[in-house]
Amino acid sequence: MRKPLFALLTLALVAPLAQAHTAGDIILRAGAITVDPQESSSDIWVGALNTDVAGTKATLNSDTQLGLNFAYMLTSHVGIELLAATPFSHDVGVQGMPGVFAGLNGKLGELKHLPPTLSAVYYPMQSSSAFQPYLGLGINYTAFFDEELSSEAEAKGFKGLDMENSWGVAYQVGMDYMLTENLMLNGQVRYIDIDTTGTTSFGGKEVKVDVEVDPLVYMVGLGYKF
């Protein structure tokens, strides 16, 4: 067991000397990314009843995928960064339908989305520090696709499902920890403002709901500096 111990010691000695980000660096990060919607919605408009049904709401569950970051350092403190990921998939649900409509509650269907986000990132620490926390502010575009009703919802009489795409602001805190000259550990959390309108139909009339998806997005992984 001497070799691994030696390797660890070498790593510990080298890490503090590792030069963190400098102008012109390209950083590629990969890891597990979770989109955890903190959703809140309007009451659901049910055209067949010609009213918003008080106390109803739309729900979304969370999903984890492969996340990728591409960053380019303009200086040792400021960079630009693009967030990409494999498509997220979420269940969409209906809650709060009263009385004779209670049967409409439950899983409505599924949707997929991609939330590419372009951010400016700021690293306040000196580049001699192996620990590099950062703040990011960016713009997000969320494209929804493959919206599909569940077979249960179709059996209940729903038809079609559509979600509007969204533009919004993304806030981020993260940290890189340099393990070697090039390899880093990374953790990051984002809050992304994603607002959409979901539309389906029931009884031949529109059913509509405004949803603030506003997810917390967590990613942990490894990065490599080129």
- Considering the complex, state which of residue 91 and residue 212 has its C-beta at the smaller distance from Ni ion: 212
Decide if residue 36 touches Ni ion (CB under 5 A): no
How many amino acids of this chain bind Ni ion (CB under 5 A)?
4
Instruction: Identify the CA nearest to 73 among candidates 118, 29, 122, 30.
Output: 122
Cβ 185 vs Cβ 15: under 8 Å: no
Q: Which range touches Ni ion (CB under 5 A), out of 25-33, 146-154, 191-199, 215-223?
A: 191-199
Count of CA atoms in the C-beta half-sphere (13 A) of 86: 8
Instruction: Specify burial of residue 6 (Cβ count, 10 A radius: 0-12, 13-18, 19+).
Output: exposed
CB 192 within 8 A of CB 172: no
Half-sphere exposure of 100 (CA within 13 A, CB side): 1
Does the protein bind Ni ion through residue 210 (CB under 5 A)?
no
Q: Is 162 in the site for Ni ion (CB under 5 A)?
A: no
Tokens of 163: 């979600």
Q: How far is the CB of 162 from Ni ion (least distance, A)?
A: 19
Of 84-92, 134-142, 146-154, 213-221, the segment contacting Ni ion by CB under 5 A is: 213-221
Nearer CB in complex with Ni ion: 21/190: 190
**Which of 43, 148, 154, 195 is close enough to bind Ni ion by CB under 5 A?**
195
Nearer to Ni ion, 162 or 212 (CB): 212
Residue closest to Ni ion, measured at CB: 212
Other CB atoms within 10 Å distance of the CB of residue 3:
7
Does 154 bind Ni ion (CB under 5 A)? Our answer is no
Q: Rule CB under 5 A: is residue 193 a binding residue for Ni ion?
A: yes
Q: Does 43 interact with Ni ion (rule: CB under 5 A)?
A: no
Rounded least distance, CB 92 to Ni ion, Å: 17
> Least distance (Å) from Ni ion to the CB of residue 56?
19
When asked if residue 148 is in the footprint of Ni ion (CB under 5 A), the reply is: no
Which of 42/199 has CB closer to Ni ion?
A: 42
Q: What's the CA gap between 55 and 98, in Å, rounded?
A: 8
Beta-carbon contacts of 153 under 8 Å, excluding residues fewer than 6 positions away, are: 106, 107, 108, 109, 200
Residues forming contacts to Ni ion in the complex (CB under 5 A) are: 193, 195, 212, 214
